Structure 1
Amino acid sequence: MFGDLFPSRTITLYLARLFISRIVGVLFLLVLVLQMLQLLSESGDILAVPGNGEAELWYYVSLNVPQLIARFLPYSVLLATLFTFWPLNQNSEVIAMRAAGLSAHQILAPMLLTAAAISLISFTFNETVVAPRTGVLKQWNKARYKPLPKDTGVRTNVYVPDGPNILTAQTVSGQGAATRLEGVTWYRRDAAGMVVEQLRSPHASYAAPGWRLDNPVRFDVATTAQTSQPSQIIAPGVSPVQLALGRVDPEGQNVFSLAGSIKAMKASGRRTSELEAKWWHKFAGPLSALLMPLLGSVAAFGLARSGTLLIRAVLGMALGFTYFVVDNAVLAMGNFGGYPPLIAAWAPFLLFLLVGETVLVKTEE
């Protein structure tokens, strides 16, 4: 079967080299232009920090370029497909291949094989290079490009639900039974969701279960009275694991660390459908490069002298960009619980795989 798809080694290497050169060229131009625009936008904020200079600008570029490569690689494959098929059709090379007995699938096979290899490289690149650099860039951006402090394990501005009630802490330090809360506020709410009581304390320690407030101050919403209270235990449903998790950034973690975060959040009873959809999309996203030759192949077939070559190219581009729109829309709906995570991540890929194959079969007929 492999030999049937690639009957000519010369044509296979010719199409693969042509395709790869155009992918590299389009991706280089896209990344270069977009990085220059982003650098112009952010350089003022970077250089406004005392002590920052040219080294910080290059550091920003080193963090941002991998993101641009990962984000625009599928677009580059789509545009490269059109830039490859357009001259092949215009110069009647596709007609010559068909006259030699090659089917549409055989002409497309070298490009699909190249796109599959690019998908595999893209997945590896995303997990080993892009994910860690994305996490660092987000932290640096939140710090307004000031030097990042060393990770002390202290979490800030923690917010955790306790049934209808809410527990907040300005800082959380320590692990397990030694977890310590600073600047603690506990809100007790009624059945209607209205806050009826507030307890504030400078410190709280884990009481297994619950959290022991040191010298809390009670504020009664109904009477607006504020009174000092003896030490007491609140939030028995909140565990140290829940406080340790904080907010998980799926873009800043690879598949293994994100899987661990999802498992820990499930164990703490927190909602994980958004993270699960992002986890599945880490596999489905790079495979979008495999779809682009299939969706753009409509530009390859049909007589150039018929006057429909431009229309075919536009149609191929429209199919490719429609996939990205649908993919983002379905993933967003999955984040809100509209679709199960598995469907939200994989449905657009499978749908457009069928669409592209249908278009190719119709073309062959």
Structure 2
Amino acid sequence: MSMKLFPSNTIAWYVARMFLVRTLAFILGLVVILESLDLLGESGKILAAAGNGEAELWTYVSLRVPQIIELFLPFAVLLATLVTLATLNQNSEVVIFKAAGISAHQILLPLILAAFGVAAINFVFNERIVTRATATLNVWKANDYARITEAAAPRTARWVRGGDDLFNAETVSGTGAGTRLGTITIYDRVDNRLTRVVSAAAARPMEGGWRLEEVSIFDVGSGTVATQDALDFSTPVVARQFTTASIDPKFVPLWELVPQISEQRAAGKPVDVLIAAAHHKISGPLSTVLMPLLGAVAAFGLARSGRLFVRAVIGMFLGFAFFVADNFMLAMGNFGTVPPIMAAWAPFMLFLLIGEAVLIRTEE
């Protein structure tokens, strides 16, 4: 058995080309079918907005297609893997490869490297195009597909928690020591029990807390209301917690998300969901690399068993089981049940081991 990675460059390129052509065919087919169905459901809403016509329909398609590609590219890679390997086996080409001393891993390596190239392209596509398209489509859809004349300004955080206390500010302006809060309400709690509600017309940061102006204090225990011109309110809440905007990872590329996570952490805000999303921006596209390994069961052993369809179904089941586990773990990470890194990477590592174990068990 040859110890080279590619005992035959011709065979490696032949297998990789079959895989890439089928991947392209599947993703194009899925995009055409799914976007046609999606457009049928949304076209009425788009055309209902005043001034919208055919151009707006094409605008919607241009914004929606990147999302469909991002979501279904791993499925296309899985289907392409199964069809490629099943075709090679059905034509007895796998038997020829193995008779020439090429191992199962060497047969799969061109597919894995091609899938890695697809993953790299997918990552760049997701971060450069999908994030922008998703953000634009989200704003347009929220406006009922009406024409947007000016960009929406980013909203600052209104609700902030510091220890047991809850802050709500109607307006936020300035940054750092120049931060000013308008119409602020503080729910002062001790051991998760509300003791008083402090309302103020304005607030500015000071050392160890905030200086409130035109203050009204409602004491929960006595049920009385007191007013005063100013109040120094001690709290761990800092100005940065109000001036850092909330982040949706779907709208932010990875290289911008990482520094924003640092800002959120410095502001005392929870960042586990953002960390999990940042890691999944890498592990998600890399899932395409797993597909040749999970679908390998469709390539080997068919000549002996004669059950091509059954083995193809098993490969498809392994691939879809990965997608289910990946979404499940990501949801658990969002709920804080598992650490964010585990939520993003555990399914990938688990099914990498499963695929390798199945391959070694059945063929090597």
- Judge same fold: TM > 0.5, yes or no: yes
Tell me the SS of whatever aligns to 2:172. Answer: strand
Deviation at 1:229, TM superposition (A): 3.2
Deviation at 1:27, TM superposition (A): 0.6
For 1:214 and 1:148, locate their aligned partners in 2 and report how far apart those are by CA, in whole Å: 38
Q: Residues 42, 219 of structure 1: CA spacing in aligned structure 2 closer, same or farther, 3 A cutoff?
A: farther
| Alignment-derived partner of residue 31 in structure 2 | 31
For 1:225 and 1:148, locate their aligned partners in 2 and report how far apart those are by CA, in whole Å: 49
| Alignment-derived partner of residue 306 in structure 1 | 305
Residue-by-residue CA offset, 1:307-331 (whole Å, 9 max, x unaligned):
3111100000001111111112222
| Alignment-derived partner of residue 115 in structure 1 | 115
Alignment of 1:172-187 (within 5 A): 172-187=172-187
For 1:76 and 1:148, locate their aligned partners in 2 and report how far apart those are by CA, in whole Å: 38
Deviation at 1:133, TM superposition (A): 2.5
1:100 aligns with 2:81: no
Alignment of 1:197-212 (within 5 A): 197-212=196-211
| Alignment-derived partner of residue 355 in structure 1 | 354
Q: Residues 152, 340 of structure 1: CA spacing in aligned structure 2 closer, same or farther, 3 A cutoff?
A: closer
Q: Residues 202, 152 of structure 1: CA spacing in aligned structure 2 closer, same or farther, 3 A cutoff?
A: farther
For 1:144 and 1:183, locate their aligned partners in 2 and report how far apart those are by CA, in whole Å: 31
Letter in 2 for 1:102: I
CA contact (8 A) 1:210 1:235 kept: yes
CA contact (8 A) 1:154 1:173 kept: no
CA contact (8 A) 2:2 2:101 kept: no
Q: Residues 270, 61 of structure 1: CA spacing in aligned structure 2 closer, same or farther, 3 A cutoff?
A: same
For 1:2 and 1:210, locate their aligned partners in 2 and report how far apart those are by CA, in whole Å: 71
| Alignment-derived partner of residue 246 in structure 1 | 245
Q: Residues 48, 113 of structure 1: CA spacing in aligned structure 2 closer, same or farther, 3 A cutoff?
A: same
1:335 aligns with 2:354: no
For 1:117 and 1:76, locate their aligned partners in 2 and report how far apart those are by CA, in whole Å: 14
| Alignment-derived partner of residue 78 in structure 1 | 78
Residue-by-residue CA offset, 1:263-283 (whole Å, 9 max, x unaligned):
112212222222112111211
| Alignment-derived partner of residue 258 in structure 2 | 259
Deviation at 1:212, TM superposition (A): 3.3
Residue-by-residue CA offset, 1:69-119 (whole Å, 9 max, x unaligned):
111111110011111122222222222222233221121121111111111
For 1:199 and 1:40, locate their aligned partners in 2 and report how far apart those are by CA, in whole Å: 52
**Segment drifting more, 253-262 vs 38-47:** 38-47
**Segment drifting more, 197-206 vs 118-127:** 197-206
**Segment drifting more, 291-300 vs 62-71:** 62-71
Tell me the SS of whatever aligns to 1:271. Answer: coil
| Alignment-derived partner of residue 318 in structure 1 | 317
CA contact (8 A) 1:154 1:174 kept: no
**Segment drifting more, 220-229 vs 288-297:** 220-229
For 1:336 and 1:174, locate their aligned partners in 2 and report how far apart those are by CA, in whole Å: 33
Residue-by-residue CA offset, 1:145-170 (whole Å, 9 max, x unaligned):
34264354553x61101221110122
Tell me the SS of whatever aligns to 2:158. Answer: strand
Deviation at 1:60, TM superposition (A): 2.4
For 2:324 and 2:182, locate their aligned partners in 1 and report how far apart those are by CA, in whole Å: 44
Alignment gaps of 5+ in structure 1 = none
| Alignment-derived partner of residue 268 in structure 1 | 267
Q: Residues 48, 197 of structure 1: CA spacing in aligned structure 2 closer, same or farther, 3 A cutoff?
A: farther
CA RMSD of aligned residues (A): 2.4
TM-score by length of 2: 0.91
Alignment of 1:229-244 (within 5 A): 229-234=228-233, 236-244=235-243
CA contact (8 A) 1:46 1:56 kept: yes
CA contact (8 A) 1:172 1:182 kept: yes
Alignment gaps of 5+ in structure 2 = none
Residue-by-residue CA offset, 1:173-192 (whole Å, 9 max, x unaligned):
3222222323322111232x
Residue-by-residue CA offset, 1:43-72 (whole Å, 9 max, x unaligned):
333333333333333222222211211111
Tell me the SS of whatever aligns to 1:166. Answer: strand
For 2:52 and 2:228, locate their aligned partners in 1 and report how far apart those are by CA, in whole Å: 49
Q: Residues 139, 107 of structure 1: CA spacing in aligned structure 2 closer, same or farther, 3 A cutoff?
A: same
CA contact (8 A) 1:165 1:188 kept: yes
Tell me the SS of whatever aligns to 1:216. Answer: strand
